[in-house]
Amino acid sequence: MSYIPQSYDEYSPFESTMARFDRAAELLSLEPNLYKILRSPSREISAYLPIQRVNGDTEIFKAYRVQYNLARGALQGGLRFGPNITLDEMRAGAAWSTYKCALVDIPFGGSQGGVVCNPKALQPIEIERITRRYTADMLDILGPERDIITPDINTNEQVMAWVMDTYSMHARHNVTAIVTGKPVQMGGSPVGNTATGYGVLCLVSEALKSFQLEPSQTRVAIQGAGRRGGSAAKLLYEAGYKVVAISDVDDGIYNAEGLNVVEALEYFALHRTFNNYEAAEHINPNMLLAIDCEVLIPAALHEQITSQNADNIKCKILCEAADGSTTSQADPILYEKGIFVIPDLLANSGGAVARHLEWVQNRTGFFWKKQEILENIKNKLLDSFQEMLNYSEKHSVDTRTAAYMRAIDRVAAEIKLRGIYA
């Protein structure tokens, strides 16, 4: 049976994800009934949040929560704020979370939520009101054994603290496990903001062994200077890699001999931009992807590498710290160029491993040391990296398809064992 439709919308995050899902499902000869279940979200919720602005006016904000698949355990997924959030993007995020957790063998399903707003135009008290109203409106579907909220674009540990407090007020007792990525003093993980970057370091170092390169010989370009890109840049720099370029949404900096990453990130933390940073050459952020380097790390938004610019990519290793950074129609171009892809399902899963450990700690009251958490992340990711390579070799497919195949295999096996409740 052929599952693959004639065409996909390259710029629909969900359709691009399903293009990869369909190819993996066909190669696995996935049973048609399992295919139908795994290709659709379990639940989609839309809400309209009335919020009183500081000027006294009431404004209505559109909000979403998509829950994809809970066969392997409680759902977990991000909450993001942004002016261009769509239901399609939420579906894709929930699917990515589902298959990411399956790939690294975490007993979670996937979800994704968002509120359509412009955080830059909102006062902190207005962001707090949106957060608390979102939590209250979604209360019936949230819970430490139902759906756990994590930080995402334009949300942080403070937002997670507001979510936890709101949920706990309704529950009439502290429920720390309702969120992950919260402040350490509230039960958060000591590696919360660096877990994804640490995972990137582990995977890049492992992949580099096949290229017979030392870190000091390895030029790295990173698109994004936030939690994912910034932490990856700092850790790679400290490990001896030559980070030649970093960008944010407004500006990029470049130095062929290597940036002083610590100094550059301190400037960015102070000014929230690289504008007027004097210790490096400035480049258009859109040009960063085409820089000649050994390792390219997209760590910003989705749909950055497409069929229109994939041929300009010059790296040897592409490590996707951002979800959906490459569209499905760019995949064959990268494959033909011989670029080794560490796909997003694996590349940014260090954060997912850390979130699972934080959730377990909150539920048991027993906390691990930072080094123990880092060792757990490293072991999980490197084991999954090897499993991906084994699938790639066994089925003669690229690494992204292999990652999807391994993840789908795990979720499908759970559903098959459980059966369908009717």
9-19 average pLDDT score: 92
pLDDT band for position 3 (50/70/90)? very low
**Across the strands, what pairs with 45?**
65
- Are 185 and 221 in contact, with CB atoms under 8 Å apart? no
pTM for the structure as a whole: 0.94
- Are 410 and 399 in contact, with CB atoms under 8 Å apart? no
CA–CA separation, 301 and 70 (whole Å): 26
Q: CA 329 → CA 2, 254, 325, 334, distances in Å?
A: 19, 29, 12, 10
Select from 105, 75, 176 the least CA-distant residue to 411. Answer: 105
Question: pLDDT tens across 235-256, in order?
Answer: 999 999 999 999 998 899 999 9
Question: pLDDT tens across 18-31, in order?
Answer: 999 999 999 999 99
CA–CA separation, 321 and 37 (whole Å): 28
Q: Give the per-residue pLDDT at 4.
A: 46
Q: Reading across the β-sheet that carries 75-82, which strands appear in turn?
A: 43-52, 58-69, 109-116, 75-82, 147-151
Q: Provide the CATH topology of domain 43-183.
A: Rossmann fold (3.40.50)
Tell me which CATH homologous superfamily contains domain 195-347: NAD(P)-binding Rossmann-like Domain (3.40.50.720)
Q: Give the per-residue pLDDT at 2.
A: 42
Q: Domain residues of the chain, as ranges? A: 43-183, 195-347
What percent of the chain is predicted at pLDDT more than 70? 98
406-410 average pLDDT score: 97
Q: Give the per-residue pLDDT at 1.
A: 39
406-421 average pLDDT score: 93
Lookup: tokens for 19: 């293009």
- Are 150 and 161 in contact, with CB atoms under 8 Å apart? no
Select from 302, 300, 336, 305 the least CA-distant residue to 318. Answer: 305
341-354 average pLDDT score: 97
Q: Give the per-residue pLDDT at 421.
A: 79
Mean pLDDT computed over every residue of the chain: 94
Q: Do domains 43-183 and 195-347 have the same CATH topology?
A: yes
pLDDT band for position 161 (50/70/90)? very high
CA–CA separation, 65 and 79 (whole Å): 8
Q: Give the per-residue pLDDT at 7.
A: 67
Question: pLDDT tens across 67-94, in order?
Answer: 999 999 999 999 999 999 999 999 999 9
Say yes or no to pLDDT of 354 above 50.
Answer: yes
Q: Which of 55-59, 113-117, 188-192 has the lowest mean pLDDT?
A: 188-192
208-217, Cβ contacts within 8 angstroms, sequence gap of 24 or more:
208/294, 208/295, 208/317, 210/340, 211/294, 211/316, 211/317, 213/294, 214/240, 215/239, 215/240, 215/241, 215/242, 216/240, 216/241, 216/242, 217/242, 217/294
